[in-house]
Each structure stands twice: as structure tokens, then as C-alpha cells.
A and B are shown apart, each in its own frame.
Chain A
Amino acid sequence: MRRSALAAVAAIGSASLLLSACSKADDNGGDGNKSAGANAATKGVVNASTQKGGTVTYEYSDVPDSFDPGNTYYAYMYNLSRLYARPLMTFQPGPGEEGNKLVPDLAEKAGEPSDGGKTWTYKIRSGLKYQDGTAITSKDVKYAVERSNFARDVLSLGPNYFQQFMQGGKAYKGPYKDKSPEGLKSIETPDDTTIVFKLNRPFQEFDYLVATPQTAPVPQAKDTGIDYVKSIVSSGSYKFQSYDEGKQAVLVKNENWDPKTDPLRKQYPDKIVVKLKVNAETIDQDVQAGDAIDLGGTGVQAATQAKVVNDAKLKANTDNTYGGRLVYMAINNQVAPFDKVECRKAVEYAVDKVSVQTAEGGPIRGDIATTVLPPDITGYAKADVYATTGNKGDAAKAKEQLKACGKTTISTNISARSDRPQEIDAATAIIASLKKVGINASLKQYPSGKYFTDYAGVPTFDKKQNIGLHMMQWGADWNSGYGFLQQILHGDAIGASGNTNLSYLNDKQINEMLEKAIATEDDTTRNGLYGQIDKRAMDLAALVPLTYFKVLLYRPSGYTNLVSTSAFSGQYDYLNIGTTKK
């Protein structure tokens, strides 16, 4: 799961409610900016402008894992880091699912597969330079992949897909320990503009992998490992002017970036300021004042939401967009009696999804879900295996399934993350629905930081504590069926702890279909397979989809080129945001 910033958002409840009450009278009228209307940025670019100059400010309530493109896992950092670190591929700035389209960035064009998708070749553009004027070569890309995926002792925060997919990836110890000049042999750089990746199995979505910031070039001579974050060498349109760990980063124009080498970036503002650890309420205020963008892209706080959706004028400045995430409840296949499919189906029918949606914050926070894949993920196919009237659950059908399972009542536990109030509320709503059909579930709360490593993600723990149901949210590392489904449905992913496959489903058919899909070159066939996997998982009642997660973003009036993209969980695309303010 590419982590969302959601977990870190602190609730400052009572005060914020009051704040919203106080600011009712607040009239924000006179700034002369015509509103583009609600959800405008999910349909097109809002405030499109080529105006240059000014300062764009991002604010975030927490701190990111790292600004180092090789050591981050957050969607918003994937999004932001492109300003100073150009990956081989990236996503086309565009509204909604249009943003899911991969386009070459550092590379001249998309990767050329050969050997049935086991070998991928990229040519990088010519004339590329770092901020210090030195040339960027394909060797720097190779080095960046090596340091970010293989030096796990020091750069451990990013994903490690290359370690899993490259030939010899398991044995290679990374450039810090393995000082041999050739490095990882399965990444070849026959010349300064060519890079060849040799995989241990066919992987038709490799372009998605090289769209992570991990392929952004890092000059080996300038790499200081952990300390690289303090002196990142830019390959993008902006470079670091200052970096104050945990507090603030300031980016200014990179004069050595050449627009001729870059069809995507426009370099509009003079300066980009990223402020960290800003109080969430303050961010909302600043965003509404038109002075900042919420870097995390998790949307406004509850109080602000209440304020803006009830005011037509303010609502016209919002974007209610899918966040590429599914809110669901996993049914643990290894905890009796949910090892029986009928018992699992009883749960599917019993849950009143409307009550869950309400607990999550209403339709603004998510549409009712009936599939594993959310609509903004490539491969989504509309389906509803356990359709009930008005999505309110069907006690009769549930009891029928319970009977078929040989039970009249079930006693179990449901796990949820103690620091996520909405998840607790949703679980409480589910408990109420289940009770009506004779399934008595008790709520067990665990801290989110250890949810996977110590609690729900540990199969022995779940069995011992009789936790048959797990509250869960999932967003993909890349927006394809494979990127989304593999981690939560593939049986091979199950380990002793740290599992994200909380259904503990190990279905041969699903495993095979996943492998087959990723080896399938043809997009249509591949995406069709994802629909089948989704259907199969639902037939097996592996999980109860609850809502397709949505966020409510407020468009800061002073900023230009705002477009909400599915590629980054509905966030605005940060590549070309400019400002009309001086």
C-alpha cells in the first residue's frame, strides 16, 4: 500500500466545530476570482494559466518519510518529488482517470519490452543536466534504482519492487556494501542514454514501476546515503534552496533544467515553499484563504467540510474526488468459522453499507462499494455480487447463508485502528448490522502504527484472539489491477507478520490469474483479467467492500493549473501549479 497521509491527521474536534460556527458569517466574496464550480478540477484544468512568478506554498500537517526520491513511499511525495527528481516515466497531468496515463519523462518514450516482457529497454532524452550542469546518464538511473531498492539497511522506507523483480535481486546487497563497479548485473547501461532492465519473470506493467521516484537519477559521487536528503541534486525544474528537516523546504528554479528536454514541466512559480507540521485546522484556513495547497491531499477536516458543503459559494470551490482507495472489511479465511465460504457470505449479506457510509462521513467521504477495485483504478468493472435493496443489507439472505454454514450464531471479534475514529465508527455500525443476523462481534482496537506488524497482520495473533473480521483500507502502489490486488489477494504474500492480505486468502485460481495478468502484454486482455479476479474474490467472499474512498479538496483561489488526478489518489497534480499572486 502506498501510504496515504491519512493516518497522521490529528483530530482536533471540538475546537474545529466551533471554528466553523464562528466563521459562518465570514464572507470571502471579494477576491474577484470566478469559481469554476464544484468538481471542476476532476473534469479539467482549473485556472489554466501560463503566468509565471510568485511563490506556491504547500502545507502538510505531518512530516513526509523523506524528500529523498529513493526513500519515500507516500503518494504526495511521489507527486511532489517530480519537481526536483525526474523518473523515467510519469503520469500525464490530466483530470481523473486521464491522469492514469503513463507518459515518458526522463525517457524518450515508453519502455520497449522484449523476451515476453522480461526485458525492458529505455532510452533517456539527450541534453539532460543536473542542477550543477553535469550531464545525466543512464548509469545514474541504474545507481538510483540500486540505492533505493537494495541498500535496505539505510534507505528502507520506499518500496522494493525492483528487488523482487530483477534477476539476481535477492542476492545483490546494494551499492553501499557491494562496491563492485558493475553493481546489479541485471540492469545494463550499454551507453549513456540506454538502460536495460532484466526481470526474473514477465512483468507487463513495468512502466508503472519506473514511474516511481526511485528511477529519478542520483549522481553516485554526490550520494551521501541517509544524508542525501539534505543535499539532493535536482534533475527537475526546481532545486532545493534550503531544507530544514521536519520543518520546511524551499525550492527555487533550476537554471540548468532545459525546457527543451521536458514536455511536461513548465516552471511557472519562482519559488515553492513546503511547510511541514502545520496544524490541520490552520491548513484548512490557509487553503480557503487561497494561500496554500494541502500537500497530503487528504482533504479538508470534518468541520471545514461541514462548512463548505453547506455553502453553495464555497462548495463551488471544492473537488470531491476518488482517492484510489477502497474502504473494506477483510474476512479472515483462517479464523473459524470463516474458513467456510457460507459463513463469509452471511457477513456479506448482513452488512448495512449505508450505515457504514454514514459512519465514515457520508457520501462526501465515499461512495458505496461493491467491488474490490475502485472505479479510478484501471481494470475496474462494475459488479455487485451480493446486491441488497438500497445496499442496506439483507438479514433473511444472511441467515440463509448462516444456516447453510451450519450455524445459527457466530461469536467473533473485529479489529480496527484505535487512532482512526471513522474506522471505529464504521466498525461499530457493522457490529450493529451483524448482530441482527446472529453474528456477535466485539470491537478490538489497535494502534495503526503496529496494526500490520503486531496485530491484524499476524495470523497467529488473529487466531489466538479469534479476530475473524478486520477493518481495512487499501490504496494501490500503482493504479492498475495488479498494483491494487496483488498485495491484498495474492496467497504468496502471506507471511508470519506484516501481512496486508488480511483476508488470508490463498486461492490458487486468483494467484494464477494475477500471475497470468501481469504477463499479458495486451492491455484489454489484462484489464479483463482484473475484473475476473475481482469477481472471483467476491464470489469467495474474501472481503466486504464498504466504500470507495473519496476526499473533499478545497481549491485555493490564488493558484493556477489545478487538476485532480487519479494517479496520485485524487491530489492535484503538483507539476505545474502556479500562482497569480506576486
Chain B
Amino acid sequence: MISYILRRTFAAVILLLVVTAVTFAIFFLLPRLAGQTADQLAQQYIGKSPTKADIAAVKQNLGLDEPLYAQYWHFIKGIVAGATYNLGPTTAHCDAPCFGYSFKTHEAVWPQLTSRIPVTFSLAAGAAVLWLVSGVVIGVISALKPRSFFDRTFMGVALAGVSLPMFFTGSLAILLFTYQWPIFGRTYVPFTENPAQWANTLFPAWCSLALLYSAIYARLTRSGMLETMNEDFIRTARAKGLRERNVVTRHGLRAALTPIITVFGMDLGLLLGGAVITETVFSLPGIGQYAVQGITDNDLPPILGVTLLAALFVVIANLLVDLLYAAADPRVRLS
């Protein structure tokens, strides 16, 4: 078990390195290959009509005058060992893990990420609870009464939920519940400040996001339950004289839920890397919003930082899913 985790961790580190290298290549190597010069890049971070000296100064300060492999190396080194940055009158040391400073705003990336994680986490966790519970409940009921009115209605709603874009549901939720009937708050409040207000503000975002996902989970649960409820062991459970409720929950759902855990873990991991559209629609200062900003500004350090963090979440989620799966299904052995 320990050696399994160690091996997985090692693989994860390699994977993260590859992810950063690919991200780096997409945003910096490709434009370079397409003919963009370091001068042109530097110019994006200067106000207007820069002199040659301005460009050279910015280039040097951002490290853009170095060869690409050196820039990449410095980034990786910063994460492991920290780095020193020029603030102007003084220099600042940025402790490991140092994800560098934004080219555009010159803000350190790491504090930005850490201050945004709680927001994205709040969004993801709340929505996840909602969609998991509602998706599974709807899926189970639908599976127990296939082709019933309930089943058809909810599967129809589920289809709509998957198809409707967040732009639509999110905006509608905002319009209805923060303006038409101002039940919910508009500005994100940290949990530590005021838990009630926190939940109150996030609720429309949770619901919108949960609608999208619970639709998927309802369908997943439904098909899983339909399959499981036809299994021989369900017949056995009934033959024991168990109440149908216990047959469904202890035996049917227990087996049908296991594959859902896998999907759930991955979805949650992905979401923690930034719910880009939801955060944009609901103006939540999370990771996704930061990523959008970085991409808009062609700002390498934030982009790399978010990518790395997102990849890290996915990797961790993956590992947890595998461990959970092993815990849930005794037939699975980790090796």
C-alpha cells in the first residue's frame, strides 16, 4: 500500500512536469516557432510606444531575454527552491513553492492561487453535495420505476440539464434569485467570515452547477441501478427476506454507486482546477477566473500556476478515486 502510493506519487510528479512543459510549449514555444519575437512578447507588458531600451529592460526583468529552456528551468526551480524577484527599489524573495510573478500585474502567483482555492473549493464542494445527492436520488427512483411518469419527466429534465449551457442557467438563476426575488446575496463572502452569508451567496451557483452535473449523475445512477437490480445478488438479498428498501440501498445502490465514485472524484478534481464558466457568470474570484485573466493577458506565470494546480487536483483526485475504489470494492487490489 505504502509503496503503491509512493509509486503513484512519483508518477504524478513526472506527469505534472510534462503538463507544465506542454503548457509552456503551447503558450510560449508555439508562438515563438510561429515567428513571435521576445520583443513582441515583452511589448505586450509595456504601456505604449516603448523605446528599444524599455523593451530591453522589461525583457530582462521578466527573464524573456533568456533561451526558452532556461525560462522553463527557472520556473520549475522556483517551485522547488523559491526565487528572487526585482520589485524596483528592492528585491523580494519568493519562498518555495514559488510560481513566479505575473508578467502583467507583477503580483506573486502563489498567494493569488491560495487565496482563490477556498472560493473554488466552496463552489465545487457545495455543488458536488447537491448534485451527488439529487442525482443519485433521482437516478434510483427512476431506475426502480423505469418508464414511469417520474422516470420520463426527470430523465427529460436531466437531458435539458446537460444540454443547457451555464451561461443560460447561471444567468437565469442570477436574474431570478438575486434581482427578481432578491433572496440570495451577490458578493462572495468567505466561509470564515460569515457561513450563512457564504452559503446564501453561493447557493444559486451551486444549484446551476449542480443542475448540469446532477443530470449526468441521475442518468449514470439510473443505468447503474437498472443493471444492478437485475443482478443475481439482488435476488439473493430478496430471498433472505430483506425489506425492499434495504435491498435497494444496501445491495443495489451500494454496488451501483462504486463506479459513480470514480466519475465523481474526477469531476470534483477537474472542477477544483477552476470552474471557469461558473466563476465568470457568478463573478466568483476563484481559480477559473484567474486562469481566464491569465490567458487574456497572455500571462505565463498565472497560466502555468493554474495549470499545475489543476493538474495536481486531477492527479490527487485520481489517486483518491483509486484508493476509494479499492476500499469500496474488495475485489480490486492495488499493486
Contacts and interface: CB of A to CB of B under 8 A. Distances in A.
- Direct A–B touching, Cβ under 8 Å: yes
Given A23-B175, A154-B86, A176-B89, A497 B39 contact: yes
Nearest to B85: A226
B45 interface: yes
Contacts of A81: none
Interface of B: 36, 39-41, 43-51, 53-54, 57-58, 60-61, 86-90, 92, 101, 104-107, 112, 115, 165, 167-168, 170-172, 174-176, 178-180, 186-187, 280-283, 285, 289-290, 293, 296-298
Interface centre among A223, A279, A497 (most CB of B within 10 A): A279
Interface string A117-154: 00000000000000000000000000000010001111
Contact of B175 (A1, A19, A176, A454): A19
A283 to B, nearest CB: 9
A224 B61 contact: no
Interface centre among B43, B112, B171, B298 (most CB of A within 10 A): B171
Contacts of B92: 227
Given A65-B104, A154-B61, 4 more contacts: A15-B165, A154-B88, A245-B105, A450-B298
Interface of A: 1, 8, 10, 12, 14-16, 18-19, 22-23, 26, 62-63, 65-66, 73, 147, 151-160, 163, 170, 175-176, 223-228, 244-248, 275-279, 281-282, 285-286, 289, 449-450, 453-454, 477, 487, 493, 495, 497-498, 500
Contacts of B115: 244
A153 B87 CA distance: 10
Contacts of B297: 449
A152 B54 CA distance: 6
Contact of A22 (B39, B47, B172, B290): B172
Nearest to A57: B187
Contact of B51 (A16, A18, A170, A278): A170
A454 B289 CA distance: 26
Q: Interface of chain A, helix or strand or loop or mixed?
A: loop
B230 to A, nearest CB: 42
A245 B48 CA distance: 23
B167 A175 contact: no
A154 B88 CA distance: 6
12 contacts: A1-B48, A18-B171, A26-B180, A73-B47, A153-B61, A156-B45, A160-B47, A160-B48, A176-B88, A227-B87, A282-B283, A289-B179
Given A65-B104, A175-B89, A282-B174, A15 B48 contact: no
Contacts of A16: 171
A76 to B, nearest CB: 15
B179 A285 contact: yes
A464 to B, nearest CB: 11
B190 to A, nearest CB: 11
Given A163-B51, A226-B106, A493-B49, A153 B280 contact: no
A281 B283 CA distance: 10
Nearest to B187: A275
9 A-B pairs with the lowest CB-CB distances in the bound complex, closest first: A225-B88, A153-B57, A15-B171, A225-B87, A226-B106, A153-B61, A152-B54, A15-B167, A278-B283
Contacts of A147: 88
A104 B100 CA distance: 41
A247 B40 CA distance: 29
Nearest to A72: B47
Nearest to A447: B298
